[in-house]
Amino acid sequence: MGKHKIWFGAAILLVSLSLGVARNATAGGGERQVCDVRADYALGVEDYSEAIRLHTEIVREHPDDALAHYHLGFAQGMMGNRTAVVSEYLRAAALGIRNWDLFLNLGLVQLENGDLDAATDSLRQAVFLGENHSESHFNLALVYERRGLDADAEREMLASLRLDPAQPDARNALGAIYAREGKTVSAALVWRELVREAPDYEPARTNLALLGSQIEVARETAAVGPPPSAAAVKTVEDERKLP
């Protein structure tokens, strides 16, 4: 079965930071790492250029401030600076940040960079820390699918859907995984149900049509039978030449 195109929208969707106390992390000697109020305000109002400038000053003066590295990485990501995202998030993690969404965002950037091994490690950590968040399982499934690990991709996509059954992208992706595994009946059921419930969701409609076309071609090929071999054709032609 051919690979089906899956439409997921934006390649990278950074999970929004909550700047409350719950996001503060303990690192090093156990003291809570707290960013400058102005820097966090700039991040909160989505002034990412200013947030980068202010957080860069903080990490220059306080290189062990894990939360500042975390916030700086997020701001860099929102500005599309993927190399800086990876650098700052890894630094934040090394200093003790253990937020599931840090590893989720890190894994997404690594996936976008084509670093599948690193993305797998980061997203596994996101699942470990955020097992009750559907996004962690969904994106780990995408990495597994990209690596051709269809059984693992199916398991994680089903886990994501158990947490949030209404996700159209996850349902569409599950259909594509089924199709890759040769489970055409399961794929068709997933897509038909999605088309019925969300008729404006074009990826499922497209994938269902592709699946139907491939099944029809397979049926026609089976009915006609394999084409004759070159040797058989030559034998027939030789017989016609006999007096």
Among 96-100, 156-160, 206-210, the range of highest mean pLDDT: 156-160
Q: What pLDDT digit, counting tens, does each position of 35-52 carry?
A: 788 998 998 899 999 999
171-188: pLDDT as tens digits: 999 999 999 999 999 999
pLDDT band for 222, please (50, 70, 90 cuts): low
pLDDT at 68: 94
DSSP-assigned letters across all residues of 213-231: HHHHHHHHHHHH-PPPPHH
Mean pLDDT of the chain: 80
Task: Count other C-beta atoms under 10 Å from residue 234's C-beta.
Answer: 11
- In this prediction, residue 36 carries a pLDDT of 83
Whether the pLDDT of residue 196 is over 90: the answer is yes
For 207-220, b where at least 16 C-beta lie within 10 A, e where not — what string?
bbebbeeeeeeeee
Instruction: Spell out the domain ranges in the chain.
Output: 15-98, 101-150, 166-223
Query: Which numeric CATH code is attached to 15-98?
Result: 1.25.40.10
Q: Is the pLDDT of residue 74 over 70?
A: yes
Q: Which residues pair with 27 in a beta bridge?
A: 31
Listed range (107-116, 156-165, 232-241) with the worst mean pLDDT:
232-241
What is the Cα–Cα distance from 133 to 117, expressed in whole angstroms? 22
Q: What is the pLDDT of residue 211?
A: 86
- Residue 239, φ and ψ in degrees, nearest 5: -65, -35
**pLDDT at residue 59, as a whole number:** 94
Q: Which helix (H) or strand (E) holds 84?
A: helix 82-94
